Every structure is written in structure tokens, then in C-alpha cells.
Structure 1
């Protein structure tokens, strides 16, 4: 899906009043001017200094990640846009039960939507495109579980398998919640320990928790969105053992519920293109931080 993110405006040069001075005065004035320019950091190619956020901005006192880390060359990230806009036309297929290790779950669901009809699946695919662009600019190899090119699905077990087969260094599933009005904010879902059937999350629980903390910190910093007021006890962090996309993963993976599509305040953000760009930047910053610390 094509999209237009906010355009970056090139810095405008400062106007400088022409000075009529003698040649004798020109040299010291020019030197002082150059020193002042350097002190202000306004040289065109000088990158802005990264500002470290307070430790309280992240769950568990972890400082928010900076997006200024180096190249992600050699790193693989799998992005899983939750649901599919075509799922509602394929109820038989998506209602088929699949094995998630400790039980059976539907292949997939239709996802939620705003009261005005903006579907979660459209939101997640747009956000996935924005996130992919940011990560590829950092040098990462990025794979989507689907790109709007399927009539329905894929099933949750296949979504996990795509990340496993790619040997992803990090995988993230993008979602928006469908809770009641008044429930607002975002939360990150991490895998709990599951060792049953074809599922064994024990090796990925710790790195997934670290990935989740970094994504939550980056997302909150970039968007200003608060932690969920209805899940996670105010921490923005939730652990679950009933999601096939997490249970069947063999690589570090988390879900992010970016907001509530049934809450008026969250909907105003989720339906905004510029805000979705901020969301992508926050998630990207968290993934970058995780990959450089791994």
C-alpha cells in the first residue's frame, strides 16, 4: 500500500545583512562569526545531538532508545501487519482451527475497526510500510508476513513460521485494539513460557521481554501516547500464552496494540497519517536499540 508520510523540509539558510567594513576589520569579524556559527552547531552537515530521555519514560526504568545507532546491515526484521482487509469475505478459511502448541485457535480474525469503519487491517498495513521504510534506511533486511497481496490471512501459525524461516533477529506484530470507549493508550504483548506440542517459547522469553521494553519506550517517546489504562497495570507491558503468533515463534517477537480504535481520543491519532509516521519512528527506534544491544 502506498502512503505519504510527512515531508522533510530542508533547513533554510539564514539571511545575513551585508556589512560595509574596512578590510582591516573584516578578518577579525569573520573569525568571530565563524566561531559563533560553530558554537551554535548550525553547520549544514552537522547532525543534531541525540537527547537522552529520562529513565522514567520507559517501563521498568529503562531509558528510551535513541534512533541514532549505527547501521543494521546483516540484521533481519520481520513485520507482521495484523489481520487482512479480505478476512471478512473468507470466514470459513479464517475460522479454521490451527494448533498453537497449548491449544487450538482460529487461523485468523477480521480484526477491529473504528466506529466510522476504518479497519485495523488497513491501519496495520500502512504502519508496516512506514516501519519497513525506516528500517531499510538503516540497512536492515525487512520481510513482511503479507503485503496486502493475499485474499485472506495468513494464519497465525504461518505468520510465526515466516519469522522463524527468515531467522529474524526481531519480529513484531502490529495491531490496534477494539476495547470500550474510555479505555485508551497502548500496550506491548510479550510471550510467556509455553512448552507444549510444537511450541517452546522458553528460549525467546527473555530477549522478547527486552525487545518489548525497548519498543514501548521508543513508541511512547515518539508518539506521546500513554500506557494502556485498562491492561498492564499502568506499565504498558502484558504477557500472554494464548497467541499463536507468539507461542510458535522461535525468534524474539512481540505484539504492539497501538491504541484503541473504539476510543475517541485514540481514534483521532490512529487515523492520522502524520501520527502513524511518528508511531513507525518510535517502533523503529525501539527495534534499532534492541538489535544494537543484542
Structure 2
């Protein structure tokens, strides 16, 4: 995703990375990020825990004040992941947009909408996705093609894979899960329609999955929260607070499960950013956030994003944040 639009300042110049691990770990503990510190200090390359677990463990929340920013685990995908980097289909994928009957579980009766950012075939429909739509504060493109790693792994493929993995995890918890798109349409949907899908489903939580396309050296994840907007068709005032709660839960669990540090180039080390220019947030009437899982244009982050084992961890972290939010 790009960072342009009203009410949004470009990210400040990157701060230098922290030095000794002990200093970073102490700061992370104070900020509620013990999970990342333990992971980094022990075995950041262990992919054995990246299975579709059942009940979530701890439910940390990210702090509201800036915490120390430290580079994410830098291990490359293991040899066993090489064939999973561009498989297109995750082990949890199935018929487009189909949702299995909800299982008995703690999320029985809850509806979760997963919004996989962009669409793998948007590039074949440039006229359609360049069409302007109303997002309340202004008009902008229906959708974009998204970004990719330097060697061509598309953001749209990444978002679908993570969405499939999340769907399997959340359905095991009893939730009814809907996807805004599942490679079942030629392009889009447009950003305004993505918001309406969550609204029409009366979703208890909506998460839009993305990966960033920032400069090399910019690393880490961040969660985008809706700002308070009351303009045109957009009125986020009722969902700002629950969306922040959802975002904090997701950010805390993402750190704990993946070992990935919050962004070192935006969000002041908190992993949280507020925006008022995104139609998918402006037009939502239910709690909703975006997550940028990492930077596809940085080689170290790209090594994680193209690892099937790491994508499973990402899906777990996001899903466990959703479970924590919905269970209160």
C-alpha cells in the first residue's frame, strides 16, 4: 500500500536501530512486548509452532505509547518452505468465498470478515480499478494492483494465502468467516464495496490484510486504525474505539506469535497508525482495521513474507488477536 492522501503525513526519517539485545528486551518488557523479546533471544527460526492450533494462548495488547523498535527476526525461510513460497493456494484454501458451517467453539455466533487486499487479476482491469469512488472525505481509485517483492511475489497472492489460513483457524474457534474476495471475481471489489460487505454481514470484526511497499531497510508490521470521520457517507465515530481495541489486540498477538517487531519507519514503535483517507475504514460501520504484515521491498521482510511457515504464524497472530477482542 502507498502512503498518500489527506490527513496523512509521510513517515519520518528512519531512526537508527537499537544496539544490544538486552536493552531492546528490557524496553519491550516494559512496553508489554515480552513475547517478541523471548522469541528473538531464543530461536527466531523455529517454524515448528506454525501449525493451526486450537485455543489461543495469552492475549497481549500493544501499548499506546511508543516502545523500543528493533529489527524483526532475520532468519530466512527453511528449506522445507521453499516450495510453499509461491504456491498461490494455502493448505486451508477451498471453493471461492465458501464458508464451512461454524463449528462449536468460543466464537459460535460471531461473524468475522477477512478482506484480502487487492486482487491477483487487478492488473488486467486497469480501467475498472482506476475508476474513482467516493470514500466520504474524497474520491479515490476503486482499487490498486498492490505491491510485490523484488522477485515478483505479489501482495495479492500473499493476502489471499494469509486469509485462507485465518479462515481455517477462526472456523475452528466456531466463528462464521466471510471473505470479501477469493479469486472469484475479475477485479476488486472496490474499496467502498469492501466496506459494505463487512457492514452487510453485521460483522463483529473485520480485518483487511496487506503488505507494504516501502523502501529497503524499512521493516516490521503496523496496524492501521480508523480516525474519527464524519463527512459525506463516512461516519466512523461509533467504531473508532472498538476498532482501536481490535487493533491493539491484533498487534500484541502478532508480535508474540511471529516474533516480528513493530515498524521501524512508521507508528513511533507502537505498531499502530491512524488514518482518515482509506475508504475501507471510512465507510465501515463495524469494528475494522488494516494490517500491513511487513515490507515486501525489504529483502529480510520479503524472506519472511514468502515463507509458508511464517505466513501461518502471521495468520495465527492476527486470528488470536481477533479471538481475544471478541471474547473480551
Verify same fold: TM over 0.5.
yes
Give the alignment partner of residue 251 of structure 2, picking from 213, 216, 241.
Answer: 216
| Counterparts in 2 of 1:149 and 1:283: CA distance versus 1, 3 Å | same
Measured in 2, the distance between the counterparts of 1:224 and 1:177 equals 18
Measured in 2, the distance between the counterparts of 1:152 and 1:6 equals 35
Match of 2:128 in 1: 93
Measured in 2, the distance between the counterparts of 1:8 and 1:77 equals 21
**Per-residue deviation, 1:226:** 0.5
**Per-residue deviation, 1:52:** 4.5
**Which protein has the bigger helix share?**
1
Counterpart secondary structure, 1:149: coil
Match of 1:102 in 2: 137
Counterpart secondary structure, 1:188: strand
Counterpart secondary structure, 2:64: helix
Note the aligned Cα RMSD (angstroms): 2.1
Counterpart secondary structure, 1:135: helix
Give the alignment partner of residue 119 of structure 1, picking from 151, 154, 174.
Answer: 154
1:131-164 superposed Cα distances (whole Å, 9 cap, x missing partner):
0000000000000001111111000000000000
The answer to whether the Cα contact below 8 Å between 1:6 and 1:277 also exists between their aligned partners in 2 is no
Measured in 2, the distance between the counterparts of 1:7 and 1:162 equals 30
The answer to whether the Cα contact below 8 Å between 2:62 and 2:271 also exists between their aligned partners in 1 is no
- Determine if the alignment matches structure 1 residue 269 to structure 2 residue 304: yes
Matched ranges for 1:1-294 at <5 A: 52=58, 58-60=62-64, 71-293=106-328
Measured in 2, the distance between the counterparts of 1:283 and 1:243 equals 20
Structure 1 stretches of 4+ moved >2 Å: 5-9, 50-53, 57-61
1:173-200 superposed Cα distances (whole Å, 9 cap, x missing partner):
0000000000000000000001011110
1:218-252 superposed Cα distances (whole Å, 9 cap, x missing partner):
11100000000111011100000000000000000
Give the number of equivalent residue pairs.
241
Measured in 2, the distance between the counterparts of 1:127 and 1:7 equals 13
Counterpart secondary structure, 2:210: strand
After TM superposition, the score normalised by the length of structure 1 is: 0.79
The answer to whether the Cα contact below 8 Å between 1:159 and 1:245 also exists between their aligned partners in 2 is yes
Q: Structure 1, unaligned stretches of length 5 or more?
A: 10-46, 62-69
Measured in 2, the distance between the counterparts of 1:274 and 1:215 equals 19
Measured in 2, the distance between the counterparts of 1:58 and 1:93 equals 38
Measured in 1, the distance between the counterparts of 2:49 and 2:249 equals 24
Measured in 2, the distance between the counterparts of 1:201 and 1:171 equals 14
Q: Structure 2, unaligned stretches of length 5 or more?
A: 1-47, 66-104
Higher alpha-carbon Rg: 1
Measured in 2, the distance between the counterparts of 1:7 and 1:112 equals 25
**Per-residue deviation, 1:60:** 3.1
**Per-residue deviation, 1:59:** 2.4
**Per-residue deviation, 1:7:** 8.3
Match of 1:65 in 2: none
Measured in 2, the distance between the counterparts of 1:97 and 1:249 equals 18
